[in-house]
Chain A
C-alpha cells in the first residue's frame, strides 16, 4: 500500500492514459497534433476528469516540462476581479519561447468566478489570444457568462460508465494489494455515482481499515465522509419534526460545508421515492426547482432549503390525514 493520496497517484498523466470521455480525448489529441488549442470550456460533474484532461493535454503538448507553460488557478479560492486583472493578465501577456507559441491557463471551478471577474476575463481572453489559451473547468457551464461561452469550444464531460469505473478501481486495488469484493465495488458505485475522485478516496479510506473491502465498510465510510445524509433529514421531516430536520440541515451546511446545490440534487432524487400522493411529488419537484434556481441566484441556502423541509412536513401530514379518513 502506498502512503500518498491515491486519487493523485492514479491520475492519468497523458491523454492516452485517460480511460473515459473517449470522444473528448480524441478531439484533444487532434489539438496536440496540430499544436493549436482553442479556448475551451470543460463542463461536467465533479470527478469526471476535467482537470485531468487539461493537465494531460498540457503534458502531451509541452512534454515533461509542461509546468513552465501552464498556470493553474482555482476560481473558488481566487475568484475576484483583482486576480483576473493581476495574475491572469501578467501570465497571459508574456509570450512563451517554446515550440508552441502560446501558454495555457487552466481556470478550475470557473463557475465560481464573480460576474465582474468574468467580464474582465473576457477582455483578457480576447487581447491575449495569441500568447495564451484558456481552459475553463466548471460544473455548470450555465454559470459562465454568454460572451465567454461563445469564445470557447465546449466539451461536456459525463460520469464514467460503470465498466470503466469498475476497471479503474480494480486496477488500483490490485496495484495496492487491497482486497476489493464485488459487493464493495457495487457499494462504491452506488455511493459515489461515477465521481471517480470520490470513489478513489472512498477506496483508500476503506483500505486504511486493513480489512477486505465489503459493502458494509464502504457504507460506513460513506456515512462518515458524506455528512450530507439527506435521506435521514427527509425522514425526519416526514415524521413531522421540522425543528430537528432543520438542525440536521444546518449541521450539513455549517459544520461540514456541504453545498446547497448538492443537497438539493439529492432531495430531488429522493422525492420520487417518497410514499406520498403522486400529485405531491410533482408539486414538490416544482418547489425544488424553484429553490434550486434561487440558490443559483445567490439566496441563503439554509433559509431556502428549510422552506422546502416545511413543505415535506406538510406533505407527510396530508398523507397521514388521508389515511385516517
Chain B
C-alpha cells in the first residue's frame, strides 16, 4: 500500500486541482466550444513550470466530461511516422463507443532533435486536420522549435499556485492520513516547494508517512539540505576554480557567513587537493586568511574582510596545479564545528574540577583542567584509596569523582573510602 501520495491524492475532478482557476476556466470553455463545432484553434497548448498541475488538469477534465483520453508522452517515440500512425485517431471526433476523445501530447520539451525527428512538424499537421481536441503540454512553450506550432494553438499559461493554495492541499492530505501537523511545518514545506505541488507532496510523504505528528523540527532539515546544495556548488567553484575572479565570486552565492564558509573550505580542501604541493599552498592560503581574521578581531576594522576572502577563495583556487580532477569526491560538513559542540559539555565539568583544584593548588582553573586533571584520572583509575584522599582534599562532588574515575564502578570503589 505504498502508493506515492502524488498518485494517491491526485485530483479526480477539476474542482480538486490546486490553483490556476483562470487557466482551467479558459481550458474548459475551449473544450465546451467543441460541442458547437470545430473551433478556430483545434489544439490547446498548456505550459508552465513543472509540478503545477498541467497534466492533472487534463486528466481531471477528461473525467469530468466523460471523455476518452489518449496520451502520448516522452516515453513514446514521436517521430513523424509514429505521430502519423497516431493521427488516425485524431481524425474522428468520437471513439467507437461513442465517447468523445481528447488527444494529449505530454512533455513536449522531451522531444529530442534526432530521435523525434520531424515530430513537431507531424504534430502540427495532425492539429490542422484534427476532428477532436488536441492538447499539448510543455514547460517552455516559447522554445523556438514550437514557433510554428504555437500559431495553431490556444495558449494557456499555468502559473505556480500560491503558498496558501499549496498549504491547503497539504493540510487536506494530512487530514486524510490522520497526521496532526504543525501549521508552520506544513508552511515550511509549502514555501520551500515554490509552487511545485508535486515536490511538496513528495516531501510531505517522505517526512510524515507513518507518523502521527509532524513538527517543525521534523521538516527544518529540509532547508538545510537546500543550503548544502548551494554550499556544494560554492565549494566546487572555489576548490576547482581556475581564476581568482571566479573563486572570489563564489562568496556572493554562499548563504552562510564568511566564517562558516571558511570552515567548509578548511574541512574539505585536503580531500580535494591530493598533491602535497597543492595542499601545502592551499593550507597556506587558508592560514593567511585566518591571520586577517585575527587582525579584524584585534582592530575591529572589518574592511580587512576582503583579504580574508581573497586568500580563502582565490588563494585556494590557484593552489591547484598538479592535482588532477579525477572522479567525484564528496564534500563534508565541517567536522571541527561538530566536535567543538560535542566537547563543550565535557569542558564545562573539566573547568568545574579545575576550580576545585585552583582553590588548593595556586594554579588557574584552566591550567588545572589541562595540566593536573590527566594525572588525577590515572590516580583515580588505579588507586581508589589515594583517589578518595584527593577527592576529600579537593572537596570534589560525586559527579566530579565519577567523571574523573571514568566509570561508575570505580567511583563506587572510591566512595567506599570516603565513607
Give the B-binding residues of A (Cβ under 8 A).
1-5, 7-8, 11, 46, 51-52, 55, 72, 74-77, 108-109, 112, 197-198, 201-202, 204-205, 208-210, 221, 224-227, 240, 242-243, 246, 250, 254-259, 291, 294, 297-300, 302-304, 306-307, 309-311, 313-314, 316-317
Contacts and interface: CB of A to CB of B under 8 A. Distances in A.
Given A77-B364, A256-B370, A303-B287, A311 B358 contact: no
Contacts of A210: 382-383
Contact of A197 (B336, B371, B390, B394): B371
Nearest to A293: B291
Nearest to A198: B371
5 contacts: A5-B360, A76-B364, A297-B295, A310-B270, A310-B282
B385 interface: yes
Interface of B: 266, 270-271, 276-277, 279-280, 282-284, 286-287, 290-291, 293-295, 297-298, 335-336, 339-340, 343, 346-347, 350, 355, 357-358, 360-367, 369-372, 374-375, 377-379, 382-383, 385-390, 392-394
A4 B385 CA distance: 11
Given A208-B383, A256-B370, A75 B364 contact: yes
Given A8-B360, A75-B364, A112-B364, 7 more contacts: A3-B388, A109-B367, A224-B377, A294-B291, A298-B297, A311-B284, A317-B276
A242 B270 contact: yes
A205 B286 contact: no
Given A3-B389, A300-B290, A246 B366 contact: no
Nearest to A262: B370
B362 A72 contact: yes
B283 A77 contact: no
Contacts of B343: 254-255
B87 to A, nearest CB: 63
B364 A108 contact: yes
Given A5-B360, A243-B271, A225 B378 contact: yes
A299 B294 contact: yes
A266 to B, nearest CB: 15
A311 B365 CA distance: 35
Nearest to A224: B378
Given A5-B360, A77-B358, A208 B290 contact: no
A300 B371 CA distance: 21
Among A205, A209, A309, the most chain B Cβ lie within 10 Å of the Cβ of A205
B298 A298 contact: yes
Contacts of A1: 386
A187 B355 CA distance: 30
A243 B280 CA distance: 12
B286 A202 contact: no
B401 to A, nearest CB: 14
Contacts of B370: 256-259
Contacts of A76: 364-367
B357 to A, nearest CB: 8
Contacts of B389: 2-4
A313 B374 contact: no
A246 B365 CA distance: 27
Nearest to A303: B290
A299 B364 contact: no
Nearest to B383: A208
A77 B375 CA distance: 21
B279 A314 contact: yes
User: Closest 9 CB pairs between A and B?
Assistant: A3-B389, A76-B364, A307-B287, A208-B383, A310-B283, A74-B364, A225-B374, A317-B276, A205-B378
Nearest to A221: B378
A202 to B, nearest CB: 7
A74 B297 CA distance: 24
A193 B101 CA distance: 94
A314 B277 contact: yes
B375 A201 contact: yes
Contacts of B286: 303, 307
Contact of A250 (B336, B361, B367, B374): B336
A76 B362 CA distance: 12
Contacts of A7: 361, 372
A221 B381 CA distance: 12
Given A4-B389, A74-B365, A243-B270, A254 B378 contact: no
A37 to B, nearest CB: 18
Contacts of A299: 287, 290-291, 293-294
Among A208, A227, A297, the most chain B Cβ lie within 10 Å of the Cβ of A208
A310 B378 contact: no
A205 B287 contact: no
Contact of A304 (B290, B339, B394): B290
A46 B287 CA distance: 29
A317 B280 CA distance: 11
A46 B295 CA distance: 29
A306 B270 CA distance: 10
A302 to B, nearest CB: 7
Nearest to B392: A3
Contacts of B382: 205, 208-210
